[in-house]
Amino acid sequence: MIQVEGLTKYYGPHKAIDSLSFHADAGEIVGFLGPNGAGKTTTMRILTGYMPPSEGRATIAGFDVFEQSLEARGRIGYLPETVPLYKELTVWQYVDYMAALRGMGNPGRAERVDEVLDRVGMLDRADSLIDSLSKGMRQRVGLAQAIVHKPDVLILDEPTIGLDPRQVREVRELIREVGEHRTVLLSTHILSEVSQLCSRILIINNGQIVAEDSPATLSNRLQDTTRYFLHIGNATPKEVAKAIRGVAGVSEVYPTEEGVEIVADSQIDPRPAVTATIVQKSWDLLELRHVDMSLEDIFLQLTTDEAVAEEED
């Protein structure tokens, strides 16, 4: 349904996305996961026909997003990162206006506006000014305008950003509902979001796809290792790293400025053996703590894994 081949975009000399290729089949919810600046919005803007790529091509239901932009756009519902809502319009007027922009005429349009507002739970706020709505309600209205013309494909750019936890839950539930029987590409920088909503995850970093996984295999991959930070008072990080390397359960050790980072095999807790070594060396233990993986670490690990896998091939 969505087919992307070798998509590249330069902003001046800066390459924002670099030969991206991926696809999304009919009925799939595909997650587009990546940190800020990875190139998610750029890709989505190209897919929705807002700007041309520098190289490569993309099709929606077989229509080239650039050369057959009218046909492609008619099949896409787009929720941009920042919804350009017209604050002086009421909810109803705004969705009606967006429907008219998509070429929907009366009779039928007014009924359809009522229907989608009901669908997103905003019918009772139809006459409210957009300006008076909470961020969560605005995202609902944003979803209403995205589905008003019954598109086959939904492109949602960080749909839950800036929402409070309750609103996040509600909007996710709504995405699940409106995503049924549609192809959805959803971008986010939140790992748990894609695992909850998506059947397949594309991980993008620095404009490139670094991994493609199901939520289950992705979390398995990431749980394979555990990290600890160790700080010793009376030995240098290099000395500590040398002594810890090879201890039971430790798979890698990196000296850092303050201490050492230990990467452990998740099957064996390395802390007993590490502690024994510290005692044996009569070192002063200042800190030994578990390090949570940040999204950046995850990308680093995935990128490194890929590089290692390629070398091994």
Ligand X SMILES: Nc1ncnc2c1ncn2[C@@H]1O[C@H](COP(=O)(O)OP(=O)(O)O)[C@@H](O)[C@H]1O
- Residues that bind ligand X in the complex, under the rule CB under 6 A: 11, 14, 16, 34, 36-42
Q: Which stretch binds Mg ion (CB under 5 A): 22-30, 38-46, 86-94, 298-306?
A: 38-46
Q: Which does 163 bind (CB under 5 to 8 A by kind): Mg ion, ligand X, none?
A: none
94-110 as b/e: b if 16+ CB within 10 A: bbbebbeebebeeeebe
- 41 sits near Mg ion (criterion: CB under 5 A): yes
Q: Which does 138 bind (CB under 5 to 8 A by kind): Mg ion, ligand X, none?
A: none
Closer Cβ to ligand X, 18 or 213, answer by number: 18
Q: Which residue has the tokens 């030995």?
A: 235
Please list every residue from 64 through 123 that binds Mg ion, using CB under 5 A.
Answer: 81
Q: To the nearest whole angstrom, how small is the minimum distance from the Cβ of residue 153 to Mg ion?
A: 18
Kindly state the number of chain residues that form the binding site for Mg ion, as judged by CB under 5 A: 3
Q: To the nearest whole angstrom, how small is the minimum distance from the Cβ of residue 291 to ligand X?
A: 25
Q: Distance between CA atoms of 200 and 190, rounded to whole angstroms?
A: 14
- Residue 57 bridge partners (DSSP): 5
Q: Which does 10 bind (CB under 5 to 8 A by kind): ligand X, Mg ion, none?
A: none
Angle between helical axes of 91-101 and 109-119 (0-180°, round to 10) = 120
Q: To the nearest whole angstrom, how small is the minimum distance from the Cβ of residue 262 to ligand X?
A: 31
Q: To the nearest whole angstrom, how small is the minimum distance from the Cβ of residue 304 to Mg ion?
A: 24
Closer Cβ to ligand X, 207 or 270, answer by number: 207
Cβ neighbors of 95 (< 8 A, separation 6 or more) are 113, 116, 117, 141, 144, 145, 148
Task: Provide the pairing of β-strand 153-157 with 183-188.
Answer: parallel
Q: To the nearest whole angstrom, how small is the minimum distance from the Cβ of residue 65 to ligand X?
A: 16
Closer Cβ to ligand X, 13 or 105, answer by number: 13
Closest of 154, 178, 180 to residue 32, by C-alpha: 154
Q: To the nearest whole angstrom, how small is the minimum distance from the Cβ of residue 66 to Mg ion?
A: 21
- How many CA atoms are closer than 13 Å to the CA of 184, on its beta-carbon side? 29
Rg from Cα positions in the chain:
24
Residue 227 in tokens: 């990290």
Closer Cβ to Mg ion, 81 or 305, answer by number: 81
Q: Which positions touch Mg ion (CB under 5 A)?
A: 40-41, 81
